Amino acid sequence: MTDFTVGTGMLRVEEALTLLSRRVAVLDGVEEVCLADALGRVLAEDVVSPLDVPPHANSAVDGWGFAAAGRPADGRMTVAGTVAAGHPFVGAVPVGMAVRILTGAPVPDGVDCVAMQEDCSGEGGVVTAPMLAPGTNVRAQGEDVAQGATVLAAGIRLRPQDLGLAAATGRTRLVVRRRLRAAVFSTGDEINEPGAPLPPGGIYDTNRTTACSLLRSLGAEVTDLGILPDRREVIRDALARAATGHDLILTSGGVSVGDEDHVKAAVEACGSLHFWKMAIKPGKPVALGRVGAAAFVGLPGNPVAVMVTFLLVARPLVLGMMGIKDSAVPRYRVEAGFAFRRKPGRREWLRARVRTDDGRLVAEKFPSDGSGVLTSMVWSDGLVELPEDVAEVSPGDALAYVPYAEMLR
Ligand code: AMP
Ligand code: MG
């Protein structure tokens, strides 16, 4: 069972990710689905090919096939017949003769190279072809996949090309992990359902829509459980009910140290809670815990902090529970197109957009760093990651950049 206990110090990002990868238990339960339903699911078996792919040597081009060693000095050969894709040649092509062969057609016995039709001339059953090395324009049997090879490994999230490769080995169904079931709440007396009139002091709920969508984009099955008031008992009861039938409960708001932050007490009343004080910006402490058998993640309330802490902490947790082996995201090297100063000590993510300037990738930073400014997330395409010890960024400096698209695949 997943255990989120940590010490009291500040957690560095790598430590947090290592802890997550060690502590998170993969959900049990698999199901078999047809390829059409497998996109985005997590593969729960190693897919081994029972056959060579391609299953037979075939021509990579339209042209004429012959045995390289049997080609006469003048290149003129009698055409022994035609072989098209799906229609193998019966028998062998005699030495010194050629066969008309089309792309994808099985290469007949007696043929070991194919001359492209653009390079040949001839008519009336005779062709003149250039000299070629054996193997030219021939796709060898098994050159893509050898029989018995593992073509897909358990623990990947299935992409279109993965499904295509499974189909190439003859598969129609795959064993995948069952979907993670997540429950999402917003908290706060000021939070209102979009569509309803706004009372004085009210704001519309931003986080629930974002959080549900983030979870869905990772492949989770999401139950939207609405807005909870700033009342400990109500929150406690709602969380306890949600713990049945969900693998994960995710809330936003109510986990800082304000008087109206009741989520912490509510989780402690019906489960266990640990604050992970991570040395990151934006993002106050992220609360991780357990309610019944469900994992609990309490994100901060500010909409930008919600998205950043989700991507940094909830995402690896969710992917780990789903059984995805590798949730690391690549950092791209870009150039700073801005100047920035700050107090070092925390790993900071700046909302950024990357443009190409004469072949170079240059990052622009959103002018405001406020953690409530959701337009900054919409304006940006990704995050620039500043290491803990950096105090200053000058134009032209090398920076690490992670596109949102890499984190939400
Ligand atoms: P809290 O952590 O509950 O103190 O919330 C921090 C800030 O985020 C406050 O300004 C809240 O009004 C805001 N906030 C909390 N939850 C939401 C939400 N679901 N949608 C939009 N803003 C929120
Ligand atoms: Mg609140």
Domain boundaries in the chain? Answer: 13-29+179-321, 32-53+143-177, 58-139, 332-407
Distance 408 CA to ligand 2 centre (A): 27
Give CA–CA dist 93/107, Å, rounded.
Answer: 10
Quickly list DSSP for 60-115: SSSEEEE-GGG--TT-EEEEEEEEBTTBPPSSBPPTTEEEEE-TTPBPPBT--EEE
pLDDT attached to residue 390? 95
What top-level class would CATH report for the domain 332-407?
mainly beta
Give the position, in ligand 1's atom list, of the atom nearest the Cα of 253.
3
Is the pTM here over 0.75, yes or no? yes
Tokens of 10: 């500040």
Q: Which atom of ligand 1 is nearest to the CA of 302?
A: 8
CB under 5 Å of ion ligand 2: residues = 188, 253-254
Burial of 164 (0-12, 13-18, 19+ CB in 10 A): exposed
The CATH class, in words, for 32-53+143-177 is alpha beta
Which class would CATH give 58-139? Answer: mainly beta
Q: Do domains 32-53+143-177 and 332-407 have the same CATH topology?
A: no
Ligand nearest to the CA of 211: 1
* Closest CA relative to residue 346, chosen from 94, 41, 16, 7: 16
- At 347-360, the pLDDT tens digits run 899 999 999 999 99
Give residue for tokens 């934006």: 282
- Quick one: which of 177, 134, 112 has its CA closest to 318? 177
Instruction: From the options 3.90.1200.10, 3.40.190.10, 3.40.980.10, 3.40.50.1980, give the CATH code of 13-29+179-321.
Output: 3.40.980.10
Q: Which ligand is nearest to the CA of 191?
A: 1
348 membership: H or E segment, kind and range: strand 347-357
Residue-level pLDDT at 136: 98
Closest atom of ligand 1 to 227 CA is 19
pLDDT at 17: 79
Provide the pLDDT for residue 256: 78
| β-bridge partners, 183 | 223, 249
Question: pLDDT digits over 226-249, tens only?
Answer: 999 999 999 999 999 999 999 999
Which ligand sits closest to the CA of 210? 1
Q: Which residues does ligand 1 sit against, CB inside 6 Å?
A: 186, 188, 190-191, 203, 205-208, 252-254, 256, 258, 300-303
* CA of 205, closest atom in ligand 1: 20
Residues in the chain with pLDDT values less than 70: 1-3, 6-9, 259, 284
